[in-house]
């Protein structure tokens, strides 16, 4: 018997749920127990997939934190106590919170597999599972290629500007050729500055989380270590402070303590 338990607050994309079920049925066989846990809002977005794939929805109480994880964990342990118990249990979530559950299931002789989007997979949780399967890997990494596209667009735009300047310079070259030749370096300087402006526009909560996958675990991270990584990833200017950056996104990040914060975490929804 195989059981699939989906954390719909983490794996909330209908396309990824369909892909996960299809991959598991091909590799493991028929899935007898199919359940999805999450908020009413996420369940509404998955309604069609749950109907077509015969997945039972379990809507959580509207409480602020960890209700989905607790509900899934309770049901998983209940299934582990059945006779016969599942030979394979699949946790569709990359949350670090499920590691204690995974350890207990393995101790009872149950093989445990994780299904997650690559960007939402907590790296510290990987060793706990017997296997980790990624879905939507190309889409999960899509923020990375967007940066060079934005910068290349800016460079191409900057290159067009010198061409216009060259078109206007021939009359000047006819009278004063030396000054006309000296005008080219300033045009190049403008072209070099343009990409840096384009880079600033991509500093979004999604870009920050992509640079720091450990945010997905919901744990408090040291602000100094986070700032160093953001500097290395060119998401934080040398003269800027990480505190001001996170205060720009109060709905996505939480700082502690309020006065002089030294820790930050991702606000999980």
| Per-residue pLDDT tens over the stretch 4-27 | 999 988 888 889 899 999 999 998
Q: What is the mean pLDDT of residues 39-52?
A: 88
Are the beta carbons of 36 and 59 closer than 8 angstroms?
no
| Per-residue pLDDT tens over the stretch 196-207 | 444 454 688 888
Return the CATH number at 123. 3.40.50.1010
Of 96, 154, 158, the C-alpha closest to 129 is 96
Same domain (yes/no): 104, 166 = no
Q: What is the mean pLDDT of residues 166-172?
A: 50
| Per-residue pLDDT tens over the stretch 48-90 | 999 999 999 998 877 766 788 899 999 999 999 998 999 999 9
**Reduced to 3 states, what is the DSSP secondary structure of residue 59?**
strand
Q: What is the mean pLDDT of residues 123-146?
A: 71
Same domain (yes/no): 73, 134 = yes
In this prediction, residue 178 has a pLDDT band, given cuts at 50, 70 and 90, of low
Are the beta carbons of 213 and 122 closer than 8 angstroms?
yes
Least confident of 45-59, 99-113, 135-149: 135-149
Does the pLDDT of residue 212 top 50, yes or no? yes
In this prediction, residue 164 carries a pLDDT of 47
CA distances 48 to 9, 17, 44, 206, Å, are: 16, 11, 8, 27
State the Cα–Cα distance between residues 181 and 52, nearest whole angstrom. 69
Same domain (yes/no): 8, 126 = yes
State the Cα–Cα distance between residues 112 and 93, nearest whole angstrom. 12
Same domain (yes/no): 14, 119 = yes
Same domain (yes/no): 113, 159 = no
Round the average pLDDT of the chain to a whole number and report it. 77
Q: Is the backbone peptide bond immediately before 257 cis, with ω within 30 degrees of 0?
A: yes
Question: Which letter does DSSP use for residue 124 in this model?
Answer: G
**Reduced to 3 states, what is the DSSP secondary structure of residue 4?**
strand
Same domain (yes/no): 233, 257 = yes
Q: What is the mean pLDDT of residues 152-157?
A: 42
In this prediction, residue 112 has a pLDDT band, given cuts at 50, 70 and 90, of very high
DSSP lists the bridge partners of residue 266 as 253
**Domain boundaries, position 227:** 205-266
Instruction: Give whichever of 108-112, 139-143, 165-169, 236-240 has the largest mean pLDDT.
Output: 108-112
- Picking from 140, 155, 179, the residue at the C-terminal end of a domain is 140
Same domain (yes/no): 21, 85 = yes
- Picking from 168, 199, 230, the residue at the C-terminal end of a domain is 199
Same domain (yes/no): 47, 126 = yes
Q: Chain-centre distance of CA 220, in angstroms?
A: 17
Same domain (yes/no): 13, 117 = yes
In this prediction, residue 215 carries a pLDDT of 77
Same domain (yes/no): 185, 245 = no
Q: What is the mean pLDDT of residues 104-122?
A: 93
Same domain (yes/no): 161, 254 = no
Same domain (yes/no): 161, 68 = no
Q: How many domains does the chain have?
A: 3
Does the pLDDT of residue 175 top 60, yes or no? no
Q: What is the mean pLDDT of residues 175-182?
A: 55
Q: Which residue has the tokens 């369909």?
A: 18
In this prediction, residue 61 carries a pLDDT of 77
pTM above 0.85, yes or no: no
State the Cα–Cα distance between residues 201 and 199, nearest whole angstrom. 5
**Reduced to 3 states, what is the DSSP secondary structure of residue 216?**
helix
- Picking from 119, 140, 161, the residue at the C-terminal end of a domain is 140
In this prediction, residue 87 carries a pLDDT of 94
Contacts of 92 (CB under 8 A, 6+ apart): 4, 5, 6, 7, 10, 11, 17, 20, 114, 115, 116
């Amino acid at each position: 018997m195989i059981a699939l338990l989906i954390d719909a607050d983490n794996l909330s994309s209908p396309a990824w749920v369909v892909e996960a079920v299809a991959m598991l049925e091909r590799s493991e066989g028929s899935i007898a127990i199919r359940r999805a846990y999450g908020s009413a809002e996420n369940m509404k977005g998955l309604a069609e997939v749950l109907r077509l794939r015969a997945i039972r929805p379990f809507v959580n109480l509207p409480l602020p934190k960890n209700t989905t994880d607790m509900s899934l964990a309770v049901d998983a342990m209940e299934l582990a106590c059945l006779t016969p118990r599942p030979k394979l249990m699949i946790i569709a979530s990359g949350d670090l919170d499920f590691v204690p559950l995974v350890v207990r299931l393995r101790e009872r002789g149950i093989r445990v597999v994780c299904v997650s989007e690559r960007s939402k997979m907590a790296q510290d949780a990987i060793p706990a599972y017997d296997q980790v399967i990624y879905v939507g890997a190309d889409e999960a990494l899509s923020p990375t290629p967007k940066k060079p596209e934005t910068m290349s667009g800016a460079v191409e735009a900057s290159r067009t500007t010198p061409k216009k300047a060259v078109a206007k310079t021939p009359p000047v070259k006819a009278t004063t050729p030396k000054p006309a030749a000296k005008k080219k370096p300033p045009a190049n300087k403008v072209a070099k500055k343009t990409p840096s402006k384009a880079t600033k526009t991509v500093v979004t909560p999604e870009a920050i989380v992509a640079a720091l996958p450990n945010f997905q675990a919901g744990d408090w991270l040291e602000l100094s270590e986070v700032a160093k990584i953001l500097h290395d990833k060119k998401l934080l200017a040398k003269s800027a402070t990480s505190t001001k950056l996170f205060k720009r996104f109060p709905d996505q990040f939480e700082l502690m303590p309020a006065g002089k914060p030294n820790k930050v975490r991702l606000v999980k929804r």
